[in-house]
A and B are shown apart, each in its own frame.
Chain A
Amino acid sequence: MNEMSGIAQVPLSLTLGLSAILFGIGVAGVVVRRNAIVLFMCVELMLNAVNLAFVALSPYAGLQGQIFVFFVIAVAAAEAAVGLAIMIAVFRHRESVDMKNFSLLRW
């Protein structure tokens, strides 16, 4: 495959750099933010950063990366569905989705 096309044309450093930035934003969000919905969004962000890295690396590492992305998307969707359902249930009880109110599991 001589003719480079699609994502292969973009330099790897850029795509991986973008992936790293997105992942960093996600991590920072998970550590810093207290709102559960935002936490979810940050987790999704991290997942998608990883997806991007898979795709970017697939011309060099083979097709498995692209296939794996589908799995990640599927799992992320399931996770979002379950997670949001939990959030709704929690909200009905506590009238809040602020994580600082949920610290039952401690010493």
Chain B
Amino acid sequence: MLLLQEAAHGAATAAHEASALITSANGFRAVYPWLIVGLPLLGFVLNGLLSVLAARRALPTLPPVGDPYYDHAHDDHGHAAVPARAPALAHASVGATEPSEQEAHDHGTDAHPVDASAARQDAHDLHDAHGHDAHDDHGHDDAHAPAGPKPFTHTLPSLIAPGVLIGAFVLAVLNFLAMKGVEPAHRFALSSGWDWMPVGSLQIAAQLQLDPLSIVMTLIITGVGSLIHIFSIGYMKEDPGYPRYMAYLNLFVFFMLMLVLGSSYPVMFVGWEGVGLCSYLLIGFWFREKANADAGKKAFIVNRIGDFGFLVAMMLLFWNVGRLDFVGVNDALLGGNSGVAFGGALITAIALFFFLGATGKSAQIPLYIWLPDAMAGPTPVSALIHAATMVTAGVYLVARSSVIFTMAPSASLVVALVGALTAIFAASIGLKQWDIKKVLAYSTVSQLGFMFAAVGMGAYVAGVFHLMTHAFFKACLFLGSGAVIHAMHHALHSTHNPADAQDMRNMGGLRKYLPVTFLTMLVSTLAIAGVPPFAGFFSKDEIIGAAWLGAEGHSHLSQAALFGISGRVWMGFIGGTLSIAAFMTAFYMGRMMIYTFFGQNRTGEQERKHLHETDWTLKLPLVVLGLLAVVGGFLNVETEVPIVGAFDFGQGEALHHWLHPVLAGSDDLAAQRVGALPEGAHQAWPIFLAIGIGLGGLALAWALLARRKLATADQQPAYENGVEKALYNKWYVDEFYDRTVVRPVGGLSRLFARFDMGVLDWVVDLFGRLAQLFGVAFGRLQTGQVNTYAFVLIVGVLIVLGSFVAL
């Protein structure tokens, strides 16, 4: 509290309002904030214990009769290679009575021969290699099916994992209500745990910060997270690694909550790294297939590059501002006596390094390449981590650092520009993908680009708003695709068809078989395409509208310049780019829906009988998220905008007002710097354009593709030539990175390895040999004769005494 008061005194008059908002002593009473993060952690511990238990139970306890490896395995002097294999072999020979991970995965590899089209693909193009996803019901109808009831290790996680999440969600709602009940100025609470790093002037506390922005994020994470946990029950319960999966998922939520609730950059960084770890663990969840493990590694390594930026930004911040907690940093920067100049090189560098971190985590150019590969993980993971929550951490970071980015207009323009380019680039790739999850993955990258364009242009509310609506409809789409894959996999598996369960060429006409999935995905598609009155329309329109307003000179960035070109031109460019990207979005989403749910079914005669929806755990989350995708947009309706204003049911710009206390500092700063901006009159044409884009994209997709006859993946070739092939192969960016980054780094590391082994190791060995040599030489003095020792002793004493006398 002392620090806060000090900060309040330090704040200048211009920033006084913002500081007063933050430092009011009688803030609201937070309801057990630590329990929000604590519950998922508890879930992780419990599920982790269960998974360890399950793994141990899968090992044999009695020596199997006639197993030649067994004795070797328990021989202390046994060969190194044998013990590692023995338990698995032994277990297989005994036969499974419980789902064991080793066993089911061994089946998994031969139950899925690589499909024919994969042979034509590039070796590292893992996308067509067959349905990696949904290993769930392997044990179901195999000869080695687990007999009898499932062990408690595979039933308890179904209660624990969603239970703790729902608990956390309830707490988040309670906190939200408590926050809502007080004046906007008092909507702030810090909850200190302990002093984490008290080192000199670096004082970092393990502290949670509840304010309107973090509570919005917390509600999204725990709310959407709960639904996805429920979906995971139905999707993963037959997987032998079920408890491990739930443990990772809980751990992820814990770290994600630390990320958004932490009160300082270091605490945020803990969550930032933690979610990266969980993302790695879950992408490589089915690590028996090398492609999946490689995808996990790729995600992890690419994210490390971004984290380097985050760390550098944090260090620069501490070096120059001396604080790392959000309140302290904001007060120091707004106070104007921090020595950090507005728009200077330093603040620009800090902002750009933070943005580098954000590009890694949120999959923006140039570090977006890991996210499409991350689809190797289970589909609910894609929905939770790689669509709804973790990948939006970068947007949250920029919104949280709004003061920093407002102080660095050129860096903000870079953010917006990168976002817009990512939006159109990823959308173009999404146009020609066959894998249903790949389409959604590139769609996610593209939508994240929209969010970055928004926060880059200073439209923080629009960015957070799109983050929220995107969490609803993209989670719904991913879960819907999961339900489709689940049904497809089940159908293909029941006839031992080796076809790819994720390839849209093998689907078609699924709306008859999966009605609930179809309807919810349809709603979400309309939302993401920007058709009013669905959620995505409002958020996307707000972003593009901000670009047009900026182009007309109504943004504080309009006068800023980047590369000598004024902000107005850039914003116009961004508006145009985003509009084209939005059109592409509508087109590829329409294409995905048409290929998946319309036309003739291409799954096969026998398989068709097995296409059906499963239990409520798969349907309920879809329905809830579908409803949110319908109504989510009404949370923030710009009342002055024509047409959009018609959807104002008294709530108006609710999110805008809600987030105002957090963003007041940067708003004041912008107003103070640029002066009063002319209030932009909202014109009607951008709205008509936006509606036209959404409907036009869908209509074009329908006109071009609905009548098209497709064959299954083994007959219908992948795109063979021209732009289509380039798009299908993702503009060859992976190949480009391979040539320009991966291979040079590999060559360099081989060079260093040679230097290390040839030169450094030689020097180290030299010292070792020298020591050996000395040992052998002086060892001869050790005769074992007492007389010799006495003689040496006496000579030594004489020398010492003699030296005293001589001195």
Q: Which residues of A contact B (CB under 8 A)?
A: 27, 30-34, 39, 99-100, 102-107
Please name all residues of chain A whose beta carbon is closer than 8 Å to the beta carbon of B785 when the two chains form the complex.
99-100, 103
Name B787's contact: one of A99, A104, A107 (CB within 8 Å): A99
**Closest CB-CB distance, A19 to chain B, in whole Å?**
15
B751-785 contact mask (Cβ, 8 Å, vs A): 1 or 0: 00000000000000000000000000001101111
Q: Give the residue of B779, B786, B791, B794 whose beta carbon is less than 8 angstroms from that of A107.
A: B779
| Contacts known (A27-B794, A31-B794); A39 close to B786, Cβ less than 8 A | yes
Kindly report which residue of chain A lies nearest to residue B785, judged by CB atoms: A103
List 20 contacting pairs A-B, 8 Å CB cutoff, sorted by A.
A27-B790, A27-B794, A31-B787, A31-B790, A31-B791, A31-B794, A32-B787, A33-B787, A99-B785, A99-B786, A99-B787, A102-B784, A103-B785, A104-B784, A105-B784, A106-B782, A106-B783, A107-B779, A107-B780, A107-B782
Contacts of B784 in A (CB 8 A): 102-106
7 closest A-B pairs by CB = A103-B784, A106-B784, A107-B779, A107-B782, A31-B791, A106-B782, A30-B790
The closest CB in chain B to the CB of A104 belongs to B784
**Interface size class, chain B:** 10 to 19
Contacts of A30 in B (CB 8 A): 787, 790
> In the bound complex, how far is the Cα of B788 from the Cα of A106, in angstroms?
12
Instruction: Classify the secondary structure of B's interface with A.
Output: helix
Smallest CB separation, A8 vs chain B (Å): 27
Chain B, residue nearest A100 (CB): B785
B773 shortest CB reach to chain A, Å: 14
Inside 8 A of A106's CB, which chain B residues have their CB?
Answer: 782-784
A21 CB to nearest chain B CB (Å)? 16
- State A105–B787 Cα separation when bound (angstroms): 13
Q: How far is the CA of A4 from the CA of B783 in the complex (A)?
A: 52
Closest beta carbon of chain B to A33's beta carbon, Å:
8
> Could you tell me the distance in whole angstroms from the C-beta of B583 to the nearest C-beta in chain A?
85
**Interface 1/0s, chain B 164-193, versus A by CB < 8 A?**
000000000000000000000000000000
Known A27-B794, A107-B780; further 14 A-B contacts with Cβ < 8 A:
A31-B790, A31-B791, A31-B794, A32-B787, A33-B787, A34-B787, A39-B786, A99-B785, A100-B785, A102-B784, A103-B783, A105-B784, A106-B783, A106-B784
Separation of A81 and B267 alpha carbons in the complex (Å): 71
**Complex alpha-carbon distance, A85 and B790, angstroms:** 21
In the complex, how many angstroms separate the beta carbon of A49 from the nearest chain B beta carbon?
Answer: 14
Interface residues of B in 24-66 (CB under 8 A from A): none
Q: Give complex CA distance A103, B780 in Å.
A: 13
Give Cα A103–Cα B781 distance, bound, in whole angstroms. Answer: 12
Quick one: CB contact mask for B319-337 with A, threshold 8 Å, 1 for yes?
A: 0000000000000000000
Interface mask (B782-802 → A, CB under 8 Å = 1, otherwise 0): 111111001100100000000
A31: B residues at CB distance < 8 A: 787, 790-791, 794
B231 to chain A, nearest CB (A): 72
* Minimum C-beta distance from A59 to chain B (A): 25
- The listed residue with most B CB atoms (<10 A of its CB), out of A31, A33, A103, is A31
- A30 to B782 alpha-carbon distance, docked (Å): 18
Beta-carbon nearest neighbor of A43 in chain B:
B790
